[in-house]
Every structure is written in C-alpha cells, then in structure tokens.
Copies of this chain bind each other. A is one copy, B any other.
C-alpha cells in the first residue's frame, strides 16, 4: 500500500554534503519511494550564497531564509548539513517546534548540546538521527544504538578523523615532518585552510563524546574528553615507534572503568603495533573497534568523510525517519540512564613510550629506573643508545595511571643527568 502524499524534506546547507544529498534524492527518487513506502520530495534548500549553488540542484527550491523554511509547517523532515553551533542549533530547535524530525551531520553541535536537542525532539514526538556526524559513511551510531543495544559495550577505540590520519600516514610512509605532511594534505584537499579543528583533535573529541555517550548509555560532554592533537608529533616520534615495531595514530578511546561505575574518553596520538588492524588504516580512512561483553571485538572500517559517503549516511537516516513518520512512531531517543561519572585523564591507565636525552655516564640508567620505581610505574623495556657523544634512553612502561606517569616525568626532568624529555607518547592496542 503506497501513500501518495509525498514526505517533504527541507535541506539546510548545500555544500559538499548537501549537494550530494540533493543529487541522490533526485536521481534515486524511485528507489527511495519504494524503500520508504511513500514518495519523498525535496521541498526547499536553504543556502547562504545562492550564487554558489551547484549544478544539478533545482534552483527554484533555493532560499536564503532558512528560518522561514523550517517554519513552513508542511516540512516533515529537516536535513541539517550546515555544521557549527549557530544558526544550526536554533534552526533544529525551530524545526522540532514546527513538527519536523531532524537528520543532522553536525558532530560539534551534537557533542556540545545533544542532550538538550534530544529533549526538545522527545517533547515534540520527533526523531533526531545523526549517523553522518561520526565517521562519515561507516555505520557506527546505528550499530551502537540498535545492534549492540542488548550487549554491554566496554570500549570504543578508533581512528575517527581522516585529515590527521592522512597526515600521520604521510609522515610514516614519506618520512616527512609534520608541516610538510600538513602542506600536502592541504594541497590535496584533505585539510582545510584553517586545519585547527582537525589537527588539534577538536573534531575527534566531538566524535568521542558522541560515541561514549551512546556506547555507555550516559552523558559525556565535550569538556569531559581529554584532547591532544597531532601538532607535536615529530618525525623522530614516528621513527622511534617504527624501531619498536609500532606506528603513530590519532586515536579516540572511550572506556568503561573496571569497576563499571565510571568511564573515560580521550583523544591523543598513540603508538600501536604494526600488526594491529588500525595500523594499516591508510590515508583519510577511518576505522573503529568496539569491544562488547557478549559480541567480543568488532571493527568497522570505511571512508570517514567526503560529500558522497556522508550523504550516504544522511540518506540512510532520512529513510529511517520517513518510515518512522509513516508508522506514527519514533526511533531510539537519547539513552543516558546509566548516569556514569567521567573520570579525569589522571585516572586513565595505559602504557607509555618515553624518550630521554641523558648524560653519557655510569649510573644514569639506575637513577632513571629508581624514579620510575619511586612513582610505582613499572618498566617493560629500556633501550639505551649513544651516538656522537649524546646518550638517549627509550623507556616503555607497563600499565600505569596517567597521574603516576606525569609525576614520574616531572621527577625525571628534575634530575641533573636528564638533559631533556624528548618525547612522551601513550602505547595502545597491545
């Protein structure tokens, strides 16, 4: 039984993603109709610069008045692909108030204000879907919200930012420094003119907050996520990792504490073994491991950004929301009943790779080892090297808390025989 009144969609934003959404809705209209059970129609497209509207986008639908579009009252679903906090937040809220459901690709907004938006959606009996906000085309939000909803997720660990993975991959394969690799990423369109959101880890941190919230059924705010970017990663770090059979990746890691009562979420560069599946994730690809009590270890891999992949995720959500509308139902809302606390970085327990420049004289290693021992940080391996009269130590620790490690490093810096701490990086995935 096919309904004939079409579901009406308002598209907010018509850049790289929005124009792909419009293109697919037009070219694949028959398939979408069959899959939804009713026709779906693009009823309006709000843009900032109508002169920049791309080829293939129906010009008669374009408006610069996004507010009027979401207030029209006949819009069933608003697709928000503007990004950023405002005006996206106000437009989405207005859309809910006028009876629409919302599909969004906006990780920054969801991370900052997801709970409030979910509350408004629920109040109005509307859906808020956002698969495209995390890891582009890779199904991750739906598997966590639905497929693994009967399981207990203990860990989410992955590469969720394509730009930084591209840069680190180039540093690894080309042996180049950070700036050179960033320039290459910019020239090839993988990095934006202002790369801050990517290289400083803000984008990955927003995704980590969203993933941790869904995975652990709790609220994790953006401020709860410990964040370090890749701007301090050097060619020497990568070479040092390589000598130990490891590579460097920017990871987002969300973990449930062993006692089950708190969680942690963090984004930072880390060394992982070359044999780890994430080590072979090249260029701008994303990949995420999910560890759950019953399911075991799952991995999801694919293109983490780009117009078409992101549009694929948006359209999957659009079909789901349309089906819900036809059913007079809504899909899963926010699930934050666990109310777990988020522990600070100092309580995170992991392993560390520390490079020290030291005096080339007897007793230095003993002195250094004593400081680790003093702070309860157990050493797994030490590599000592003397080159051109300069001595260096590379220490890899067993698992220790971030606080204990920081205290150790502070004490090492105070030693006369330690000339400098050349690098500290966490070791994951072993």
Binding site for B on A (CB under 8 A): 20, 24, 28, 31-32, 34-35, 131, 137-139, 142-143, 146-152, 217, 277, 280, 292-303, 306, 308-309, 311-320, 323-324, 327-330, 332, 335, 337-338
A308 touches B280 (CB 8 A): no
Number of copies of this chain that the complex holds = 2
A131 touches B152 (CB 8 A): no
Q: Determine which of B277, B294, B303 lies in contact with A309 in the assembled complex, contact meaning CB atoms within 8 Å.
A: B294
Least distance between A156 CB and chain B CB atoms (Å): 14
The answer to whether residues A313 and B299 also contact, given A320-B149, A328-B328 and a CB cut-off of 8 A, is no
B328 touches A148 (CB 8 A): no
B148 touches A312 (CB 8 A): yes
B315 touches A151 (CB 8 A): yes
A147 touches B316 (CB 8 A): yes
Least distance between A380 CB and chain B CB atoms (Å): 25
B31 touches A318 (CB 8 A): no
The answer to whether residues A312 and B151 also contact, given A137-B296, A298-B301, A299-B301 and a CB cut-off of 8 A, is yes
- CB neighbours (8 Å) of A297 from chain B are 302-303
Complex A-B, nearest 6 residue pairs according to Cβ-Cβ distance, in ascending order: A150-B315, A139-B147, A137-B295, A327-B329, A295-B312, A294-B312
- CB neighbours (8 Å) of A148 from chain B are 139, 312, 316
A323–B332 Cα gap in the complex (Å)? Answer: 8
- CB neighbours (8 Å) of A143 from chain B are 139, 142-143, 147
A400–B380 Cα gap in the complex (Å)? Answer: 54
Least distance between A116 CB and chain B CB atoms (Å): 20
A298–B149 Cα gap in the complex (Å)? Answer: 22
Residue on B nearest A25 in the bound complex, by CB: B150
Residue on B nearest A147 in the bound complex, by CB: B139
A217–B30 Cα gap in the complex (Å)? Answer: 13
- CB neighbours (8 Å) of A32 from chain B are 150
Q: Determine which of B298, B311, B323 lies in contact with A294 in the assembled complex, contact meaning CB atoms within 8 Å.
A: B311
Least distance between A153 CB and chain B CB atoms (Å): 10
> Which residue, of A295, A302, A303, A306, has the highest number of chain B Cβ atoms within 10 A?
A295
Least distance between A381 CB and chain B CB atoms (Å): 26
A35 touches B335 (CB 8 A): yes
Least distance between A273 CB and chain B CB atoms (Å): 13
The answer to whether residues A296 and B316 also contact, given A34-B335, A146-B142, A217-B34 and a CB cut-off of 8 A, is no
A297–B138 Cα gap in the complex (Å)? Answer: 9
Least distance between A276 CB and chain B CB atoms (Å): 11
- CB neighbours (8 Å) of A312 from chain B are 148, 150-151, 292-295
The answer to whether residues A149 and B277 also contact, given A294-B24, A295-B309, A298-B302 and a CB cut-off of 8 A, is no
- CB neighbours (8 Å) of A335 from chain B are 34-35
Q: Determine which of B20, B293, B299, B317 lies in contact with A302 in the assembled complex, contact meaning CB atoms within 8 Å.
A: B299
The answer to whether residues A313 and B280 also contact, given A300-B298, A308-B294, A327-B330 and a CB cut-off of 8 A, is no
